[in-house]
Structure 1
Amino acid sequence: MRQIRDIRFAKDLRGKKVLLRLDLNRPTEILTILGKIGRISKSCEDIRFLLKQGASVIIISHWGDPQGFDKRLSMESICKRMSRVLRRKIKFVPDTVGEGARAAVGGMKPGEVIMLENLRFNPGEKTNDKEFASRLASLADIYVNSAFGVSHRKHASLNAITKFIPSYAGILLQKEVNNLAYVMHQPNRPFTLVLGGSKISTKIGMVKHLIDDVDHLLIGGALANTILAAKGVKIGKSLCDTGEFKEAKKIIQLAGDKLLLPVDAVVSNKRHKRGEVKDITSLLAGDAIMDIGPLTTDQFKIIIGDSQTIVWNGPLGVAEKPAFENGSLKIAHAIAAARYQAAYSIVGGGNTMPIIKKSKMEDHFSWVSTGGGAMLAFLAGEPMPGIEPLIE
């Protein structure tokens, strides 16, 4: 694989102003819950490194998808949270490329950190506008991208900006690329891919790209519901996307004998709101699948325990409800335990992170990715507009 320009190998950073693109696109309460596996904590390594080198740091990021200014999506609350985690004052500047931003940057001294306002308040961010990118670049001497979670987007602060300023990959981005690249290039076998969540369309690319190297494809959650329904299994009133039957059938065809779907499920109905276990072939019209069942969980755990490479993306049930988190938690523990049998494990996806945190196993995976869609895009071999300009 070609090398990415790594900020750790840049020449003297002392006295330089560094524009650091991070991905802090999470409500502050979620950032708080995730603790050390969240994007704020993981991004602090880049900031500390730059400060140690004598640079001043200008943090830029986005939050949500505003159509112009929206006070609810201001970066100010995230700035306060990051200050607490970093244990260093970060000055918030309610501007991005205007006079307010220029004045704040102009007065910076080495060792100081500021955070600019939400990039997406400017329409030029999402359109990869060169003028907006040029104005951002003019604020600093060096640009660093450590926002892996959005590096599959062709946005001004990720792509166009690299045309106007010396650009490097940050520490977090480099770690993401190195860990994910491992499973794409001769992973140790058996290789097990565990998928949950709801949308087949977001995961079909990854399945196509990795299926030749994958030995087992374990699927749960609403993703499994859609595939089961496409196979003709009656799933009651379970969440299912009938519009994705064509993609579901592609997965069935691609995976063949490698595919393992739930054989039982925890279902909710009028009599059992908190769930009862049923064989997957005996669901009634009023049943809704909420979690993988105990037999499925045991089957998945056996395969995971025998694996040498494991990638997991997406919850295996409605895990945000405590009554239906059991399957996902047990799979989290199984993947964590596999590391002690020399397995290499990567977990990721926004909805997977709270499960990892609740499992208290966050230190027991080889890598916990901060990317959701970016992780899927990278493993699908899709273009990464935020990374490609950094390749030497």
Structure 2
Amino acid sequence: MAFRTLDDADLQGRRALLRVDFNVPMEEGLVSDDTRLRAAKPTVDKLRAGGAKVILLAHFDRPKGKVVPSMSLEPIVRPLAKVLGVPVAFATDCVGPKAREAVSAMQPGDVLLLENVRFHAGEEANDRAFADALAANGDLYVNDAFSAAHRAHASTEALAHRLPSYAGEQMRLELDALHRALGHPERPVLGIVGGSKVSTKLELLGHLVTRLDKLAIGGGMANTFLYAQGHDVGASYCEKELADTARDIIRLAGQNNCKLFLPIDIVVAERLAPGAPARVRDIGHVDDEERILDAGPQTVERLCRAMNNSKTLIWNGPLGVFEMPPFDKGTMEAARHAAKLATAGKLVAVAGGGDTVAALNAAGVSDDFTFVSTAGGAFLEWMEGKVLPGVAALNQ
């Protein structure tokens, strides 16, 4: 996809409407994790260096088109100013007189945060009139919110058609990394898909087996595949009603020459609790009261060998209950091996999704992967082969 970047833009004195994702975690009215604020800094810095007036558009939570004071973006002003190292002004609306007055007062290099775009019903409705009202305060539009790009909302889609539009620095990083992982990857390509439910990732699995050379399935969803193959899974979480679907995916993988990796051994316990007694079992040898909670050592070793023989890795979802030792071992070992290969330049390793990011952080390897996307739904929909409206709107 060809999209314009800020390298192509004349910024001096221009009003830049910058769509960011500031839907950050809050505790008692304070930002508890500023990752998304820091992600916006390179684009803000580039706009300011070019002499633009930086006008930030963002949403927070789900006010459903109404003004909800507890969902205001105002508490983000102070931590954002700290991250950027410059003052940040705030307007109590994103359109209308209050926004217009705040924008009119700006000088080149100034930064202004507008109030929650979702306080207006026109945002989620992708309403043209609301997009026109947003566009009235800008000379150009920059989308730096890949994590919101799967939604056709006014500030992510309609607005891009009303002004000269560009991809921000974070958006560019995301799109470049995803292009390297699935668009035109260096082969062989290995995918790892984990998590608890097959039902939430049916489209993903069906798409990936037609695009990848190898696909490893882990986590609770692997139990459904093992059950579909006739193996006993004891008291494990298992979507037994999807056994036929799992067999269809196995057949589809074979038809597309995608080698499927399912567990060959597993870690089981009778209860899910920190430090619970755990045992390694061969697949199919699970007692009625036992639950499968992690991939076994042979499974992890085989997966690491598959990484050694691959050029590209795309990862979504843990191999086990990584939040609770000793059931974190499989995910930790696989993550560290992938990171080692990526650091050595032997593997392009791209990962994304909330649980995946948390697992890589727990393993201490997030910075060693080629790219880690903080986007949840957008990353998954991209992996499923879907067109993301916010990205398509940037297409030249």
The TM-score with structure 1 as length reference comes to 0.89
Partner of 2:360: 356
Cα 1:96–1:341 change in 2 (3 A) is closer
Whether the 8 Å CA contact 1:7–1:170 is kept in 2: the answer is yes
- Are the structure 2 counterparts of residues 106 and 380 from structure 1 closer, same or farther at C-alpha, using a change threshold of 3 Å? same
Question: RMSD value over aligned CA atoms?
Answer: 2.5
Question: Over residues 323-373 of structure 1, what are the superposed CA-to-partner deviations in whole Å (9 max), with x where a residue is unaligned?
Answer: 432222211111111121521110111111122222222222111123222
Equivalent residue, structure 1, for 2:52: 55
Please tell me whether residue 267 in structure 1 is matched to residue 268 in structure 2.
yes
1:74 matched to 2:72? yes
Q: Which residue does the alignment assign to 1:324?
A: 327
Are 1:202 and 1:376, in contact at CA under 8 Å, matched by a contact in 2? no
Unmatched segments (≥5 aa) in structure 1: none
In percent, how many aligned pairs have the same letter?
Answer: 38
CA deviations 1:154-174 (Å, max 9, x no partner) are 111111112322221112112
Matched, 1:46 2:20: no
Given the alignment of the two structures, is residue 371 of structure 1 paired with residue 375 of structure 2, yes or no?
Answer: yes
Aligned counterpart, 1:284: 287
2:295 counterpart of 1:296: no
The 5 Å alignment of 1:139-150 reads: 139-150=137-148
Distance 1:318 1:384, change over 3 A: same
**1:108 alignment partner, SS class:** coil
Structure 1 residue 55: deviation in Å?
A: 0.9
Kindly state the Cα deviation for residue 66 of structure 1 after the two structures are TM-superposed.
3.0
Who is 1:21 aligned against? 19
Alpha-carbon separation, structure 2, partners of 1:241 and 1:80: 46
- List per-residue Cα deviations over 1:28-60 (Å, max 9, x = no partner): 479855x7xx43322211111001111111111
Structure-2 separation of matches of 1:239 and 1:188: 36
Give distance in 2, aligned partners of 1:74 and 1:288.
Answer: 44
Residues 274 and 325 in structure 2, CA contact (< 8 A), matched pair in contact too: no
Deviations 1:134-177 (A, max 9, x none): 11111211111111112121111111112322221112112211
**50-59 or 83-92, larger mean C-alpha shift:** 83-92
- TM-superposed CA distance for 1:297, in Å, is 1.8
Q: Aligned residues, how many? A: 387
Shift in Å at residue 18 of structure 1?
Answer: 0.8
Distance in 1 (alpha carbons) for counterparts of 2:196 and 2:74: 32
For 2:115, give the aligned amino acid.
Answer: E
One-letter amino acid of the structure 1 residue matched with residue 289 of structure 2: G
Given that 2:94 and 2:134 are in contact with CA atoms closer than 8 Å, whether structure 1 keeps it comes out as yes
Residue by residue, what CA displacement relative to the aligned partner does 1:220-249 show, whole Å, maximum 9, x if unpaired?
A: 112222322333433233333445445433
Farther off after superposition, 223-232 or 155-164? 223-232
How do 1:165-184 residues align onto structure 2 when only pairs under 5 Å count?
A: 165-184=163-182
Partner of 1:333: 336
Check the 8 A contact 1:31/1:39 in 2, yes or no. Answer: no
SS at match of 1:346: strand
Q: Distance in 1 between matches of 2:328 and 2:302?
A: 17
How far residue 62 of structure 1 moved from its aligned partner, in angstroms, is 1.8
Q: 1:231 to 1:72 in 2, by over 3 A?
A: farther
Q: Give the C-alpha shift of residue 77 in structure 1.
A: 3.3
- CA 1:160/1:341 → structure 2, altered by over 3 Å: closer, same or farther? closer
The one-letter code matched in structure 2 to 1:317 is: G
For structure 2, the residue ranges without an aligned partner over 5 or more in a row are none
1:346 aligns with 350
Structure-2 separation of matches of 1:141 and 1:46: 16
Contact 2:271/2:291 (8 A) holds in 1: no
Is 1:308 the counterpart of 2:311? The answer is yes
| Residue number in structure 2 paired with 1:87 | 85
Q: 2:391 aligns with which of 366, 369, 387?
A: 387
Alignment counterpart, residue 222 of structure 1, candidates 220, 223, 226: 220
120-129 or 316-325, larger mean C-alpha shift = 316-325
Tell me how far apart the structure 2 counterparts of residues 294 and 6 of structure 1 sit (CA, whole Å). Answer: 45
